[in-house]
Structure 1
Amino acid sequence: MTLSIESRIRNLGILLPQASNPAASYSNYVIVNGLIYVSGKGPSGSPKGKLGSEYSTEQGYEFARLAGIEVLAVLKDALGSLDKVKRVIKIQGFINAEPTFEEHHKVLNGCSELMYEVFEDKGIHARSVFGAVSVRDNLPIIVDSIFEVQI
């Protein structure tokens, strides 16, 4: 018997925070034709700084995981249950990094591996990762995501 996603989250010991509110005149998410587009989310606790100077790749991995948990909180808020997620479609990461930093992909693995832990095979997704000279509020990472959902 396969566990529900909600049960799996509990078994993994993941506590979802209250979904954060947008910082301006936009929505946390938009649902169109069975897809939910989640606005960019950073890690909880609002750490500030760049990968490659203030933070290591390993710390960035944890920040990406925390940003993924923020995404899950938005999904739960939007859908009422994570069991309505049919598939993770795409994860896109914007890494606030020094110009010489080269491990963007290892940082975003924190979010990608979380999605696999939570959604199993439905969590395997397409992805892109970019280095950025700056991101909002000097966060170390912003994660943008798209999911197929049951509405």
Structure 2
Amino acid sequence: MSQVEQKLAEMDLALPEAGAPAGSYVPTVRTGNLLFVSGQVSVDAEGTMIKGRCGETMGVEEGQAAAQRCALAILAHTKAAIGSLDKVSRIVKLNGFVNSSPAFGDHPKVINGASDLMLELFGDKGKHARAAVGVANLPFGVAVEVEAVIEVAS
């Protein structure tokens, strides 16, 4: 078990299975030392999609929990691609998309659910650039989708 997975266990969290894509794409692409992880949608620990719209059917804290689940899925795909999360050199960038009502403006707070997990697990290597964007809808009506660029050891 990697050091990162040990930290997850101490937080009472676990990586989900790295699921198959829901479209015509691959979950990860590696070029050089960069791993691009396709957008991961919010799915709970039982495998049920976390659906909803921030500002209408869910609040910031529920959105943060959904974003954290996206980050766990990103890490599951990262592990599948490189073998061990201990090979992560840096979380370079997260792009977060929040299914939200037109009046909702706390997208950055929602995506903090993903960002805070990366910081807690990777320390300084988890500091990253980021975008947090509100959208009118997401696939399957999920609450949050997050994609990542991760630097990995060669």
Match of 1:94 among 97, 115, 132: 97
CA distance in 2, matches of 1:131, 1:10: 31
Give the C-alpha shift of residue 5 in structure 1: 2.4
Give the C-alpha shift of residue 4 in structure 1: 2.9
Pairwise CA RMSD: 1.2
Give the C-alpha shift of residue 20 in structure 1: 1.2
Match of 1:103 among 91, 97, 106: 106
Deviating beyond 3 angstroms after TM superposition, the runs of 4 or more aligned structure 1 residues are none
Q: Which runs of 5+ in 1 are unaligned?
A: none
CA distance in 1, matches of 2:3, 2:50: 32
CA distance in 2, matches of 1:47, 1:8: 24
Identity of aligned residues (%): 38
TM-score computed with the length of structure 1 as normaliser: 0.94
Q: Does 2:10 align with 1:7?
A: no
Query: Is the 2:107–2:134 Cα contact (8 Å) retained in structure 1?
Result: yes
Q: Which amino acid aligns with 1:34?
A: N
Q: Does 2:86 align with 1:83?
A: yes
TM-score computed with the length of structure 2 as normaliser: 0.92
Equivalent residue number for residue 62 of structure 1: 65
Over 3 Å counting, the alpha-carbon distance change for 1:107 and 1:142 in structure 2 is same
Give the C-alpha shift of residue 85 in structure 1: 0.5
Equivalent residue number for residue 50 of structure 1: 53
Q: Which runs of 5+ in 2 are unaligned?
A: none
What is the SS of the residue equivalent to 1:8? helix
